[in-house]
Amino acid sequence: MSGKTIDEELMGKFLPVEEIKTCPHCGSDKLIYDPVRGEVICAICGYVISEREIDKGPEWRAFDGEEKEKRSRVGAPITRYTPDALATDIDWRSRDAAGRELGLRKKVEMFRLRRWHMRAHAQSSLERNLIQAQQELDRMGAQLGLPRRVLDRAREIYRRALETGLVRGRSIESVVAAAIYAACRELKVPRTLDEISKYTRAGRKDVARCYRLMLRETSIKVPLPSPMDFAPRIGNVLKLSAASVRDAIDVLKQAQQIGITAGKDPAGLAAAAIYIAALRRGEVRTQKEVARAAQVTEVTVRNRYKELAKRLKIDLPVKKP
């Protein structure tokens, strides 16, 4: 083994998805798209390609300041943003353009028009909020590599939250993040709160608070996270065989039956099960690797797997001669 893992080799490199034709791991060109998890996977070695490697930089290159200035499309908008089609206002003074007092009939009509104008405006504020939220949703979805159906569901959830009045006083971003988190859990595409809040300016805490509030105030119900949903993803990152992943899920099932999974971090449990399963199949991964793939610490993997091994009476192959 020479030094770096594949993860480390690829880290920080820009790999625009469209440009990848062959697997960076084994060189095969048999890449398949898994729409369920929104990932491109190498059919030969199982390497997950598209998940995190999204090029967030510009698609152009500039060699001096002037060129950069010209090509950059970010910064203050050139034209003023018009919130909706009704940007005009109706004057409250009942006078015409020349300053003459209006007749009674006209006054009444203007009053009515004004009222409808306000109503149309108010309604569009909801629409406007949705449009902005949609932008956030698309951005975060792309950065997290989430499939369409999750985003669609997240949008529905967001709309519900908006209609319930949950967004008022909170940032759109954090509520969108909460909606995405809820959608992920509902559709069993596990993403941790940490992963999601990484792409928002609102902190993890904010997102979590919005999420909890959302569960309480709207009638959205979300199944409890199961460690078994995490196992395939961790297996993918570590490039383990499908058999090992199946074994790991088996271990988790047993653990659930004897009731030692309650209150434990599902990612940590899944990591431990993966570690055990891989070891038993001779696909040795270090605790560190497993921990990193599951985004928990080494210590947690260790504690969980000790517990699992003890309670399930699994003996591990110590080493090979």
- Contact between residue 277 and residue 241 where contact means Cβ atoms under 8 Å apart: no
Query: CA–CA separation, 20 vs 28, rounded Å?
Result: 11
Within 13 Å, how many C-alpha atoms sit on residue 311's CB side? Answer: 18
Q: Residue 64 or 315: which CB sits closer to DNA?
A: 315
Site stretch for DNA (CB under 7 A), options 87-95, 135-143, 152-160, 263-271: 263-271
Query: CA–CA separation, 319 vs 286, rounded Å?
Result: 13
| The one among 299, 310, 311, 317 contacting DNA by CB under 7 A | 299
**Count of other CB atoms within 10 angstroms of residue 196:** 22
- Contact between residue 14 and residue 53 where contact means Cβ atoms under 8 Å apart: yes
Residue with tokens 């598209």: 50
Query: CA–CA separation, 225 vs 211, rounded Å?
Result: 14
Report if residue 296 touches DNA, rule: CB under 7 A: yes
Q: How far is the CB of 176 from DNA (least distance, A)?
A: 19
Report if residue 256 touches DNA, rule: CB under 7 A: no
Contacts of 27 (CB under 8 A, 6+ apart): none
Report if residue 292 touches DNA, rule: CB under 7 A: no
Single out the residue of 98, 88, 153, 161 nearest to residue 130, CA to CA: 161
Q: How far is the CB of 1 from DNA (least distance, A)?
A: 8
Q: Residue 7 or 69: which CB sits closer to DNA?
A: 7
Contacts of 17 (CB under 8 A, 6+ apart): 40, 49, 50, 53, 54
**Count of other CB atoms within 10 angstroms of residue 16:** 11
- In this structure, the chain runs to a length of 321
Q: How far is the CB of 303 from DNA (least distance, A)?
A: 6
| The one among 10, 31, 208, 215 contacting DNA by CB under 7 A | 208
| The one among 263, 282, 313, 315 contacting DNA by CB under 7 A | 263
Query: CA–CA separation, 273 vs 250, rounded Å?
Result: 9
Report if residue 94 touches DNA, rule: CB under 7 A: no
Contacts of 186 (CB under 8 A, 6+ apart): 153, 220, 222, 223
Site stretch for DNA (CB under 7 A), options 29-37, 101-109, 231-239, 261-269: 261-269
Q: Residue 141 or 268: which CB sits closer to DNA?
A: 268
Give the number of residues in contact with DNA, rule: CB under 7 A.
22
| The one among 286, 310, 311, 317 contacting DNA by CB under 7 A | 286
| The one among 225, 250, 287, 312 contacting DNA by CB under 7 A | 287
- Which x/- pattern, by CB under 7 A, does the window 211-240 give for DNA? -x----------------------------
| The one among 288, 310, 311, 317 contacting DNA by CB under 7 A | 288
Site stretch for DNA (CB under 7 A), options 13-21, 25-33, 250-258, 285-293: 285-293
Site residues for DNA, 147-206, by CB under 7 A, read: 204-205
Report if residue 264 touches DNA, rule: CB under 7 A: yes
From the number of C-beta atoms within 10 Å of its C-beta (0-12, 13-18, 19+), residue 285 rates as buried
Report if residue 297 touches DNA, rule: CB under 7 A: yes
Report if residue 303 touches DNA, rule: CB under 7 A: yes
Report if residue 25 touches DNA, rule: CB under 7 A: no
Taken in order 260, 266, 272, 278, is the CA torsion positive or negative?
A: positive
Return residues touching DNA (CB under 7 A). 204-205, 208, 212, 263-265, 268, 286-288, 296-300, 302-304, 306, 318-319
